[in-house]
Amino acid sequence: NESLKYGSQYEGKRQDEAMQKFRENRLGQFIHWGLYAIPGGKWDGKIYPGAAEWLQSWADVPPEEWSKLINQWNPDEFDAQEWAHMAKEAGFKYMTVTTKHHEGFCLWPSEYTDFDVASAPNKTDIMGELIDAYTKVGIDVYFYYSILDWHHPDWRYDIKSEEDEQAFERYKTYVDNQLTELVERYPEVKGFWFDGTWDKSVKKNGKWTLEIQQMLKSLKPGMIVNSRLRADDHGSRHFDSNDKLMGDYESGYERRLPSFREDTIVTTRDWEAVMTVPENQWGYHQDWSVSHVKSTNEVLEWITHSVAMGGNMLVNIGPKPDGTIRQQEKTLMKEIEQWMDINGEAIYAGDYLGWEKQDWGYYIADQKTNEVYALVFNVPVTQKITVATPEGISIEEAHPLKDESESLKISEKGPNEVFIHLPQPMFEAPYVIKLKVSGKDGSKGTYRKAKT
Ligand SMILES: Cc1ccc([C@@H]2N[C@@H](C)[C@@H](O)[C@H]2O)cc1
With the most atoms of ligand 1 within 8 angstroms of its CB, the residue from 107, 195, 227, 277 to mutate is 195
Which atom of ligand 1 approaches the CA of 51 most closely?
13
Give dist(CA 238, CA 36) in Å, integer: 28
* Inter-residue contact 248 to 226 (CB < 8 Å): yes
Q: Which atom of ligand 1 is nearest to the CA of 254?
A: 9
CA 284, distance to chain mean position in Å, is: 18
Question: Relative to the CA of 193, which ligand 1 atom is closest?
Answer: 9
Residue nearest to atom 13 of ligand 1 (CA): 53
Q: In what order do the strands lie in the sheet with 384-388?
A: 384-388, 417-421, 410-414
Query: What is the four-CA torsion angle of 183, 187, 190, 195, rounded to 10 degrees?
Result: -20
Which residue lies with its CA nearest to atom 7 of ligand 1? Answer: 195
**Nearest atom of ligand 1 to the alpha carbon of 196:** 4
- Res 452: pLDDT: 41
195 lines ligand 1 (CB under 6 A): yes
Predicted local distance difference test score (pLDDT) of residue 396: 96
Can you give the pLDDT at residue 370? 85
- Ligand 1 and 103: CB distance under 6 A: no
User: Quick one: which atom of ligand 1 is closest to the CA of 274?
Assistant: 9
CA of 418 to the centre of ligand 1 (A): 44
Distance from residue 360's CA to the centre of ligand 1 (Å): 32
- 135 HSE (CA, 13 A, CB side): 13
Is 51 touching ligand 1 by the criterion CB < 6 Å?
Answer: yes
Distance CA 169, CA 322 (A): 37
Model confidence, pTM: 0.97
pLDDT reported for residue 440: 58
Give me the pLDDT at residue 445, please. Answer: 43
- Alpha carbon of 102 to ligand 1 centroid (Å): 9
The alpha carbon of residue 56 and the mean position of all alpha carbons in its chain are separated, in whole angstroms, by: 24
Q: Is 168 in the pocket of ligand 1 (CB under 6 A)?
A: no
Kindly give the distance from the C-alpha atom of residue 282 to the centroid of ligand 1, in angstroms, as a whole number.
8
CB of 130 sitting under 6 A from ligand 1? no
Q: What distance in angstroms lies between residue 271's CA and the mean position of ligand 1's atoms?
A: 18
148 touches ligand 1 (CB under 6 Å): no
Query: Which atom of ligand 1 is nearest the CA belonging to 198?
Result: 3
275 lines ligand 1 (CB under 6 A): no
Question: Which residues have CB under 8 Å from 317's CB, separation 6+?
Answer: 29, 30, 31, 32, 277, 325, 329, 333
Question: Which segments of the chain have a pLDDT < 50?
Answer: 441-452
Closest ligand 1 atom, residue 146 Cα:
11
120 burial class (0-12, 13-18, 19+ CB within 10 angstroms)? Answer: buried
Ligand 1 atom closest to 98 (CA): 11
Q: Which letter does DSSP use for residue 337 in this model?
A: H
Paired strand residues for 385 = 420
Any residues with CB less than 8 A from the CB of 20 and at least 6 apart, and which? none
Write the residue with the smallest CA distance to atom 2 of ligand 1.
196
Closest residue to atom 11 of ligand 1, CA basis: 282
Ligand 1, atom 3: nearest CA belongs to which residue? 196
Predicted pLDDT at 439 = 84
